[in-house]
Each structure stands twice: as C-alpha cells, then as structure tokens.
Amino acid sequence: MTEPQRMANSILLANVHNVKEKEAIMIKAKDVKMIDLYDWDKLVCDTYNKIYSLQQQDGCKSRGIINITIPDEVDGEMNTEIPEVINHESKMCVNFNTWLDRSIDKPLNPSDKELEDCNYYWGKSVIDKEKWKLDKSNINMFWTRNFYPNLQAVANDLHKKGLLDAGAYAIEIDW
C-alpha cells in the first residue's frame, strides 16, 4: 500500500470511528401525542357527563407533564367510598365504576365529625350543615378534589370507546 493510500485509509477509518462515537451519544427520542389539560378535561366531562378536573386531583397538581401509555394496567385497588368532604387528605380517588355510578347532583353526606373537621365548612347550625351538603359549589369541589377516578382507568376506557388511539401520550398541566 502506498503512503497516499495509507493516509486515505486512515482518514476513512477516523471518519467511521467518529460516526460510531456520534451514534453512541445520540439522544433517543420517542414520539408522544401531547394533550392539553383543558382538552383532556373536556373530553372526560363530555364523554361521561361528570365533573372532572385533572389538575385539581391529588392535592392539586403543579405545572408539568404527565406521561401515560394507553392502554396500560391500572395500579392497585381503588376506594369504593371516601369521606364526603372537600380536601380530605387521606382518602382521595375512587374506583372507576364507583365514579360512573354516582350522580353529579347527589348531595354530600359527611358525618358530623368529618364536616366539623373540614376546612371548607364554616357553619354552626343544623341548617348550615344541610345547606353545605346541598351547595352545588361544594359538590363540584368534592368531585374535582376528592371524588375522581384513576387517570389510567379513564384513559383505558376512552381507548375502549374508540376516543383515544393506543400509544404514548403526554398531558400538559399548565394553568
């Protein structure tokens, strides 16, 4: 091999080596379908005729991205009942069928102790308690902050209904 051939060969090898190095450090990206928070909430509310707000769940979500694969397994057992007060810290989120079965007009029915411990109750009398249980704004806040289904269960059902294709999704939380 002549000297110019050796030089050309070593340049070629160096270029191949650089390409392999670049391939090794390239970032792998995946395609996801981005869903706006408000579009997600509207789809859920319109589909099920229920009160729903993803951002208000789990103690109110911060701005960010929720990644979800549809369909996928639903994690763990869900509550079939929870205290009927706003922002109950230890029990939130209910079984999907429990959520589906409840009327959005059903009054709240907390125990006297639960109601007295609730930060959203300021009443003093029996009449105040009854008004609080029937108040539509309290019922709406209960649904958005406490009485909501698991996100994956909703997504899987929307997929079964043909409203979401299978795949990777990201829901953007930005309020």
For the segment 6-35, what is each residue's pLDDT rounded down to a tens digit? 554 555 445 545 555 555 678 888 889 999
What's the N-to-C CA distance of the chain in angstroms? Answer: 68
- How does DSSP classify residue 21? H
Long-range Cβ contacts of 122-129 (<8 Å, 24+ apart): none
pLDDT for res 20: 55
- The span from the CA of 24 to the CA of 21, in Å, is 5
In this predicted structure, the answer to whether residue 122 has a pLDDT above a threshold of 70 is yes
Model's pTM, two decimal places? 0.80
pLDDT for res 108: 96
For the segment 69-100, what is each residue's pLDDT rounded down to a tens digit? 999 999 878 899 999 999 877 789 999 999 99
For the segment 46-58, what is each residue's pLDDT rounded down to a tens digit? 999 999 999 999 9
Element (DSSP H or E) covering residue 67: strand 64-70
